[in-house]
Structure 1
Amino acid sequence: MEQAREMASVACRALEDKKGEDIRVIDISEISVLADYFVIASGSSNSQVTALVDNVEEKMHKAGYIQKQREGQNSGTWVLLDYGDIIVHVFDTESRSFYNLERIWSDGKQIEL
Structure 2
Amino acid sequence: MNPAASDTAVELIQLAAAAADAKNGADLVALDVAGRLPLTDAFLLVTGRTERNVIAIAEGIEERLTEAGHRALRREGRSEGRWVLLDFGDVVVHVFHEEDRLYYSLERLWKDCPVIPVNLPVREPAD
TM-score where L is the length of structure 1 = 0.97
- Could you say which residue in structure 2 is the equivalent of 1:54? 59
Q: Letter of the aligned partner of 2:58 in structure 1?
A: V
Higher helix share: 1
Structure 1's unaligned 5+ residue stretches are: none
Say which of 75, 80, 88 aligns to 1:75: 80
Structure label with greater radius of gyration: 2
- Could you say which residue in structure 2 is the equivalent of 1:15? 20
How far does the alpha carbon of each residue in 1:10-54 deviate from its partner, in whole angstroms, 9 at most, with x for none? 100000111101000000111111211000000000000011011
Say which of 92, 111, 119 aligns to 1:106: 111
- Runs of 4+ deviating beyond 4 Å: none
How far does the alpha carbon of each residue in 1:73-113 deviate from its partner, in whole angstroms, 9 at most, with x for none? 11110000000000000000000000000001112111213
TM-score where L is the length of structure 2 = 0.87
Contact between 2:10 and 2:116, CA under 8 Å: does it hold in 1? no
How many residues are matched?
A: 113
Say which of 61, 69, 74 aligns to 1:64: 69
